[in-house]
Amino acid sequence: MTVFAKIIDREIPADIVYEDDLCLAFRDIAPKAPTHVLVIPKKPIASLIDLTDEDEAIVGRCVLVASRVAAGLGLGSGYRLVVNCGPDGGQEVPHLHFHLLGGRSLGWPPG
């Protein structure tokens, strides 16, 4: 069971900013920007690599949730939504998650 599954099950506390039947959004414990929220599907999907056609709605929901959370957190001047995929892509937790980063100017290219 991943740390995110434990957060979903409330075995580990988190600063939750949004929840519905499909998704959960909570503040990252090691933020990389003034605002750093993780948006995760409640369904245990390990990575983008593991998506199937049946996951289309849940992934779309996560992106919509990220947009709404960003608006609610006052990120109207811009933000970044990042998905790390696999070890070489920087993914540390094997549960699909979207990093919502904002609150400062974000340079390009990243990393």
Residues with active-site annotation: 97
Identify the DSSP state of 99: E
- Between CA 62 and CA 68 the distance in angstroms is 10
How many Cβ atoms are within 10 Å of 47's Cβ, its own excluded? 18
